[in-house]
Amino acid sequence: MPAALIAFPVAVLVAWSVLAAGILDHPNARSSHARPTPRGGGIGVLAGVFAALLVIPVTGPAEGAALAGTVLCGGMAAGLGLLDDLLTLSERLKFAVLTTLGLALSVMAGPVTGLGIALPWIVGLAGSALWVFTVANAVNFMDGSDGLLTATLIPAALALGLLADGGTADASLALAAGLAGFAVWNAPLLRPRGRLFCGDVGSLGIAVIFAGLALHWAATAPAGSVWLAPLLILPLLGDVLLTMAARVRAGRSPFVAHRAHAYQLLIRMGKSHARIAAIWGGLSLACGALALAGAAGGAWVKFAVFAIGVAAFAIIHRVVRKMAMAAGLDVYQ
């Protein structure tokens, strides 16, 4: 709890400083905003988490390595995002850096070597690195609507804090508090739109930090816990992966920028950013509750709640796409 009490005010103040600096995000063809808006507010979240980690006690060498790796790789991912915000880096460079960070973080925080059956270490390493890479890209892709990231990641981080223990739990709660501090400026609560965007510096750094904490928990928790980690952020992962699959089936490239995510279709149908944040926040709370319920059972129970969550979100995603098609929208572009 002391860590979270540090993370919140630091995040609020640093995000306010970024807002005052006025580094603008200019809208493009796939943006959900029409006017230049300050960005880089995710730096506040990172500052809050890093400050909180200074007071979090470490229970052993393994946890110390995991938290150190999370801080290091999260900071480097944020640096990559900052350069991309300022210079627009090539996709190949970002792919190479995120892959390298995923492998490094997996060595320090994991890797997960069991999915109900024992896996060779190298397979577990590859799968864990893929987890970090996928989470980083999914969070980055979904950072396009005011309040969306905070509405989904705060419940996810809170649930992870309840599932984990020791320093991992404290760091997860600090991440939730840092996100809440950023939400003061980003969430569309007292006005129709947020005043500050997260930016790639924030979305990539925050994503890698969450991925590292979840990875260390899954690697050290009871059997089957690995299925609960993706369940915590299913509203983000599901929208990205299901949209990509739909585009591939339609013959569209999954690597071309688009506005076909479910949340983007809802925006195009006239839904407010506040409404979308509320929907994704509710879905995230439901996923967190499922994960907490499943944690009390065995490995097959954990897999079952994961499968239930995936099936339910797939139905919701399909309903949104059908609504968009009925409204005459191109759901692949």
Average pLDDT over residues 173-179: 97
Whether 95 is covered by a domain: the verdict is: yes
32 confidence band (pLDDT: 50, 70, 90) = low
Residue 222 lies in a domain: yes
- Does residue 333 sit within a domain? no
Confidence band for 28, pLDDT divided at 50, 70 and 90:
low
Q: Does residue 31 lie in a domain region?
A: yes
Q: What is the 3-state secondary structure (H, E, C) of the chain?
A: CHHHHHHHHHHHHHHHHHHHHCCEECCCCCCCCCCCEECCCHHHHHHHHHHHHCCCCCCCHHHHHHHHHHHHHHHHHHHHHHHHHHHCCCHHHHHHHHHHHHHHHHHHHCCCCECCCECCHHHHHHHHHHHHHHHHHHHHHCCCCCCHHHHHHHHHHHHHHHHCCHHHHHHHHHHHHHHHHHHHHHCCCCCCCCCCCCHHHHHHHHHHHHHHHHHHHHHHCCCCHHHHHHHHCHHHHHHHHHHHHHHHHCCCCCCCCCCCCHHHHHHHCCCCHHHHHHHHHHHHHHHHHHHHHHHCCCHHHHHHHHHHHHHHHHHHHHHHHHHHHHCCCCCCC
Instruction: Classify residue 70: in a domain, yes or no.
Output: yes
**Sequence-distant (≥ 6) Cβ neighbours of residue 190 within 8 angstroms:** none
User: What are the backbone dihedrals phi and psi of residue 114, each rounded to the nearest 5 degrees, phi first?
Assistant: -145, 130
Q: Distances from the Cα of 216 to the Cαs of 77, 164, 169, 261, in angstroms?
A: 18, 9, 11, 29
Over residues 251-271, the mean pLDDT reads 88
Share of the chain above pLDDT 90, in %: 69
Dig out the tokens for 309 from the structure.
């969550």
Total tally of structural domains belonging to the chain: 1
pTM: 0.94
55 lies in some domain: yes
Query: Is 252 inside any structural domain?
Result: yes
pLDDT value, residue 21 = 78
pLDDT in tens, 186-236: 888 767 677 888 889 999 999 999 999 999 999 999 888 999 999 999 999
- Provide the mean pLDDT of the chain: 90
Q: Establish if 28 belongs to a structural domain.
A: yes
Domain of 205 in residue numbering reads as 2-326
Task: Categorize the per-residue pLDDT at 259 as very low, low, confident or very high, splitting at 50, 70 and 90.
Answer: confident
pLDDT, tens digit, for every residue of 94-124? 999 999 999 999 999 989 887 767 778 899 9
